[in-house]
Amino acid sequence: STTPVKVAVTGAAGNIGYSLLFRIASGALLGPDTPVELRLLEITPALKALEGVVMELDDSAFPTLAGIEIGDDPNVVFDGVNVALLVGARPRTKGMERGDLLEANGAIFTVQGKALNDHAADDIRITVTGNPANTNALIAKSNAPDIPAERFSALTRLDHNRALAQLAKKTGTHVTDLKKLTIWGNHSATQYPDIFHAEVAGKNAAEVVNDQAWIENDFLPTVQKRGAAIIEARGASSAASAAAATIDHTRDWLKGSAEGDWLSMAVVSDGSYDVPEGLISSFPVTTKDGNWEIVQGLEINEFSRGKIDASTAELGEERDAVKDLGLIG
């Protein structure tokens, strides 16, 4: 089609934005034949920096980039958007309690949820990358009653990709040899990367690894604490890999998952695998034409059950906290 797809990105002048925008503009999200119009949202003090990023986008002369609009009003920037990548969020600063963080982000995601509700296109798909991603997605969804709940998702694809990298390293394989890995729960240190259903070159991954101590004491903490390890090494939080995962997640949602494989996406729970209904929790999903389905019928062993329950309990606590703050109904 020649009608540009309108892609909104919030926090566009931030670190992830600086990697994400250029990849979207170059066709990594929608393919080389689909023109894209970027709709970039920032807070007022960051608009000048964003103008500089726009200059660089212009100077890249991307064949697929059809236009760019920037602004600080979500009601204007989100008008007619088909895809919204909600990256901008309030980072946790020194001395900030979890309640303060949820409240600060609540202020952002209530407003953006309402603006999407009132102005986005009918086919809108929303990916929340900004932390706390699952609960921010829940807040946006709860403030957008006219948008079907399944159009909201939160990013756990970076965790999924991190887990693939660790498993490939351990098994001496390449990430393309791996299938059916799952991230369950919250995008936080309680997330559970599950290899009990994963495959390494067609064989069960847990059996190939055959090392429960590695799973428990090495693999899990490495994946769960990877964000902190990158901050420690780089002096800045992961940005290019987070942008890449935001693209992977949204592209695969729109274009479909590969036959015989699945993805990890945080989506609204229907109660599958005893994850409380209504929470935005990461599941194994297959996707097709912009729709997702939770993979059903997986046997959950006792070890996995405990880990999934711990992470979904944390999501329940976050939900209760934002409910107490009046951010969701």
Q: List contacts with ligand NAI (CB under 6 A).
A: 10-11, 13-17, 41-43, 46, 87-89, 91, 108, 129-131, 133, 155, 158, 187, 237-239, 242
Q: What's the min distance (Å) between Cβ of 191 and ligand NAI?
A: 10
91 versus 148: smaller Cβ distance to ligand NAI: 91
Query: Would the annotation count 235 as a binding residue?
Result: no
Residue 265 tokens, joined: 């996406």
- The annotation status of 162 as a binding-site residue, yes or no, is yes
In the complex, least distance from residue 28 CB atom to ligand NAI, rounded to whole angstroms: 17
Say whether 17 counts as a known binding-site residue. yes
Q: Is 130 marked within a binding site? A: yes
Name the minimum Å distance from CB 264 to ligand NAI: 11
Q: Among residues 186 and 206, whose Cβ is nearest to ligand NAI?
A: 186
290 in a known ligand binding site:
no
Q: Using CA atoms, how far apart are residues 195 and 203, in angstroms rounded to an integer?
A: 11
* Residue 163 counted as an annotated binding residue: no
Give the rounded distance of the alpha carbon of 75 from its chain centre: 23
**CB of 11: closest distance to ligand NAI in angstroms?**
3
Nearest to 164 by CA among 255, 248, 239, 281: 248
| Nearest residue (beta carbon) to ligand NAI | 14
User: 224: how many CB neighbours lie within 10 A of its CB?
Assistant: 19
Give the residue with the Cβ less far from ligand NAI, 20 or 178. 20
The answer to whether residue 160 is catalytic is no
- State how far the Cα of 226 lies from the Cα of 163, in Å rounded to an integer: 10
Q: How far is the CB of 213 from ligand NAI (least distance, A)?
A: 27
Residues with Cβ within 8 Å of residue 181, at least 6 apart in sequence? 160, 163, 164, 167, 193, 194, 195, 198, 205, 264
DSSP conformation letters of 85-153: EE-------TT--HHHHHHHHHHHHHHHHHHHHHHS-TT-EEEE-SSSHHHHHHHHHHT-TTS-GGGEE
CA end-to-end distance (rounded Å), the chain: 39
Residue 38 three-state SS:
strand
Q: Is 329 annotated as a binding residue?
A: no
Nearer to ligand NAI, 17 or 278 (CB): 17
H/E stretch holding 213 = helix 212-214
* Catalytic-labelled residue, pool 119, 160, 174, 187: 187
Dump strand ranges (E) for the chain.
Answer: 5-10, 36-41, 65-71, 83-86, 125-128, 152-154, 178-179, 182-184, 192-194, 199-200, 203-204, 263-268, 280-288, 291-294
| Residue closer to ligand NAI, measured from CB, 46 or 315 | 46
- Residues designated as active site: 187
The binding site comprises 11-17, 92, 98, 105, 112, 129-131, 162
The binding site for NAD(+) comprises 11-17, 105, 112, 129-131
